[in-house]
Structure 1
Amino acid sequence: MNRETDVLVVGGGATGVGVARDLAMRGVDVTLCERGGLGSGTTGRSHGVLHSGARYAESDAEGARECIAENRVVKGIAGACVRDSGGYFVALDGDDPDYFEAKLEGCRAQDIPAEPMSGAAAREAVPALADDVERVIRVPDAVVYPSRLVAATAESARRHGARVLPDAPVTDLHTENGRVVGATVDHDGGETVRTNHVVNAAGAWAGRIAEKAGVEVSMQPTKGVMVAIEGVEVDPVLNRCRSPADGDLVVPHDDEVVLGTTSVAVDDPDEYSREDEAVDRMVAECAAMVPALANREPDRTYWGVRPLYAPDEDERGGARSISRGFFLLDHADDGVGGFSSIVGGKLTTHRRMAEAVADHVCDALGVDGTCRTADEPLPGHDDPAELDDLVGEYVTDSPADSDLRD
């Protein structure tokens, strides 16, 4: 079967569906293809934190400002896709006091609301905290439910005219005269899709999609484990107030907490080892903040891979130091027109990433239109039941918030 579309988006995580939504709202004919259920890659295997920017405040001012801006936007448009839990950065006895002060100063410099609290005040608000919590910074972190967010964004794209295809892997990209002009899609017996532009939003798999067009995109996926434990009550997102390390995050859900996470470079985003020792380390490290976690057996675990872009990884010093910022690559610079990749980034900034892509593509295609995705609420934003119906239609294999569907 042959089809035509103005833009083909490859990848159905948060960024990909965000690109489809933004372009469709500008009147562009869009087709989105995802090899599995929407959100089944990095998005659905994340820790599900909607960052306030505080995590990056002292080390990445631009990233922190992006996060606090998008934190506010997502809370405004996504409704019941978000649990507005708030967040604490927790300093324990022995943690570096200078780091705490730098974090607080960075938040204030980036206009991130940040309130210091004594350990006693923090324990009164969150009794599960350890006795040796010395100080806390309260910030507007939140929990985002990736399945609901992706499904609602995809439905918005569809209502604005996009064609959204889960379970439709792109098996080949077609080039003519130095341009990508189409793709072979394994959907409904097979399709050949002709297009004016292809957006590669495949996350950790972006390098593999780029190879199909003869382009190199240097990805360095890193694996991380998340550990869910039931029966421990914590209201805010807890971050250990220290340099990023394993086991410094506790994310509250209704009947469980999710602990994270490691960051270890892998060669293959589909095939990698999953060590029990990493799970044990998450529990032990997070128990320093929440003693009720100590020696608990996980109720479930899941692993994910981050889509880090690392063309200069050797100079950066390893997986944790690779940029969490996003990069928009125009492959006309590589001699292949009609083809762009969006790589890196964070779930919190997915809408901003999509806006950057849509601006670029519309400019390339000569399309007038401005971004409206920050202003129009998502379908079902005020109706959890509608959101969960959309999840059932679009999303499979998304363990980050599977407890909502149990």
Structure 2
Amino acid sequence: MAIDTTALVIGGGATGAGVARDLALRGCDVTLVDRGGLADGTSGRSHGLLHSGARYAEADEVGAEECIAENRTLRDIAGAAVADTGGLFVQLAEDDPDYFDAKRDACEAIGIPVEVVDGDEARAAVPELSEGVERAMRVPDAVVSPSRLVAANARDAADRGAAVHYGSPVEGIRVDDGEVTGVAVGGALDETVRPEVVVNATGAWAGELAAMAGVSVEMRPTRGLMVSVDYPGLGTVLNRSREPGDGDIVVPHEREAVLGTTSVAVDDPDDYERADWERERVREACAAMCPALSDATHVREWWGVRPLYEPDEADRGGRGISRGFFLLDGADEGVGNFLSVVGGKLTTYRSMAEATADAVCERLGVDEPCRTAETGLPGADDPAALDEFVADLGGPGPSDSDTVGR
């Protein structure tokens, strides 16, 4: 028997769960489906950084402004899903001091709090920091638990009437007279869903999903490796103050430090090479900032696939510093009730979801404002409750499997 729904959101990562929550808060009838566990794709395979915006400040003012705004919002609404670690951008002797100065100036102009300290002060904060660190810049980076964040969004959506189905892959999309009229969903749901509006929030898989509806979404997925080592004493995020490159970030967890990352284009986000050189390069590059990481015991590793939008990547000439998002209307190709949201980053998932929900509500004639920035997530102040949500929705992804439920 077919399921009728007002909005079908496909993809249960941070953005998809955020869209479902936003629409449910506005009183919409929502169904959310994902082929695996929630946060099973890109969201649960990140390094878990909650950006301050400093990483983008000198190259993407708008993106940096969005990051610092969402950073503050998530600290307010997400509670125990966020750890307030702070961050350091460190300049090594071989790094261009002009790049550091440009980043500091841009942060100050945007309103991102920064404090420049010399190498000795930086080493007082992180005792095993390299002697080659000449100066550093404190910024309000933090660490977010993707599994907790996604699960809390999905739980809030469900508590407000949304139907949430994981382990339920989309197997086909029927289009009649320029509208999606049916979506065949297999797995645990095993039903046809008849939506008024479809939101494609499948990240790196957005092109494949869109093709089922006869819509083209050009993606350029890139893989990135994260290596987690036994290193409980870091305490703060470390960023290398240089043009983006492999191994330029270290993210602290409770007992581990996550070293990242690489950027290699892949043809298939489900089937790609895992290369030894990535492990070696990430470890070596991160150890330049903190030499003790060179010998720290390897605990685990994972690759994630970034949902990069091909036209944006082409405009920037490949690996760049911007990570904006794009809302694509299937009406441009004759499918009027099919929207795709692509690009972006975990930090800005809520604003991506807001923009997408605004577009859905415009089509539906729903005149309700977004309330996700002011409404706290359920269980936000109770880590055990958040971890129960995660367990109920498929378990944690590799990004935070060392901390969630422990």
Same-fold status (TM-score > 0.5)? yes
Partner of 1:161: 161
Is the 2:39–2:150 contact (alpha carbons within 8 Å) kept by the matching residues of 1?
yes
State the 1:233 CA deviation. Answer: 1.5
Partner of 2:170: 170
State the 1:295 CA deviation. Answer: 3.9
Is the 1:147–1:395 contact (alpha carbons within 8 Å) kept by the matching residues of 2?
no
State the 1:335 CA deviation. Answer: 1.2
1:133 and 2:103 are equivalent in the alignment: no
Partner of 2:103: 103
Partner of 1:345: 344
Q: Quick one: structure 1 residues 219 and 69, their matched pair in 2 at CA, closer, same or farther if it must change by over 3 Å?
A: same
Partner of 1:282: 282
Q: Quick one: structure 1 residues 144 and 94, their matched pair in 2 at CA, closer, same or farther if it must change by over 3 Å?
A: same
State the 1:399 CA deviation. Answer: 0.2
State the 1:378 CA deviation. Answer: 0.5
Describe the superposition over 1:178-233 as per-residue Cα deviations: whole angstroms up to 9, x where unpaired. 11122011144620111100000000000011000001100000000000000352
TM-score by length of 2: 0.98
Describe the superposition over 1:335-391 as per-residue Cα deviations: whole angstroms up to 9, x where unpaired. 111000000000000000000000000001101100000011111100011011111
Q: Quick one: structure 1 residues 299 and 376, their matched pair in 2 at CA, closer, same or farther if it must change by over 3 Å?
A: same
Partner of 1:252: 252
Matched ranges for 1:218-257 at <5 A: 218-257=218-257
**Aligned-residue CA RMSD in angstroms?**
1.2
Is the 2:244–2:321 contact (alpha carbons within 8 Å) kept by the matching residues of 1?
no
Partner of 1:311: 311
Matched ranges for 1:326-365 at <5 A: 326-365=325-364
Query: For 2:249 and 2:189, how far apart are their aligned partners in 1?
Result: 44
More deviation, 296-305/85-94: 296-305
1:265 and 2:268 are equivalent in the alignment: no
Query: For 1:153 and 1:312, how far apart are their aligned partners in 2?
Result: 28
Query: For 1:189 and 1:8, how far apart are their aligned partners in 2?
Result: 13
Query: For 1:294 and 1:346, how far apart are their aligned partners in 2?
Result: 28
Partner of 1:18: 18
State the 1:317 CA deviation. Answer: 2.0
State the 1:293 CA deviation. Answer: 1.0
Partner of 1:401: 400
TM-score by length of 1: 0.98
Q: Which amino acid aligns with 2:159?
A: R
State the 1:297 CA deviation. Answer: 4.6
Is the 1:151–1:395 contact (alpha carbons within 8 Å) kept by the matching residues of 2?
no
Q: Quick one: structure 1 residues 129 and 345, their matched pair in 2 at CA, closer, same or farther if it must change by over 3 Å?
A: same
Counterpart of 1:259 in 2: which secondary structure?
strand
Partner of 2:114: 114
Is the 1:170–1:185 contact (alpha carbons within 8 Å) kept by the matching residues of 2?
yes
State the 1:396 CA deviation. Answer: 3.4
Is the 2:232–2:253 contact (alpha carbons within 8 Å) kept by the matching residues of 1?
no
Is the 2:56–2:322 contact (alpha carbons within 8 Å) kept by the matching residues of 1?
no
Q: Which amino acid aligns with 1:143?
A: V
1:382 and 2:381 are equivalent in the alignment: yes
Matched ranges for 1:206-221 at <5 A: 206-221=206-221
State the 1:313 CA deviation. Answer: 4.2
Matched ranges for 1:137-148 at <5 A: 137-148=137-148
Q: Quick one: structure 1 residues 139 and 314, their matched pair in 2 at CA, closer, same or farther if it must change by over 3 Å?
A: closer
Query: For 1:291 and 1:75, how far apart are their aligned partners in 2?
Result: 31
Q: Which amino acid aligns with 1:331?
A: G
Is the 1:308–1:323 contact (alpha carbons within 8 Å) kept by the matching residues of 2?
no
Describe the superposition over 1:287-315 as per-residue Cα deviations: whole angstroms up to 9, x where unpaired. 01111012445211100000000126445
Query: For 1:232 and 1:191, how far apart are their aligned partners in 2?
Result: 46
Gaps of 5+ in 1: none
Query: For 1:382 and 1:232, how far apart are their aligned partners in 2?
Result: 23
Give the number of equivalent residue pairs.
Answer: 405
Query: For 1:113 and 1:89, how far apart are their aligned partners in 2?
Result: 13
Query: For 1:282 and 1:322, how far apart are their aligned partners in 2?
Result: 18
Counterpart of 2:254 in 1: which secondary structure?
coil
Counterpart of 1:151 in 2: which secondary structure?
helix
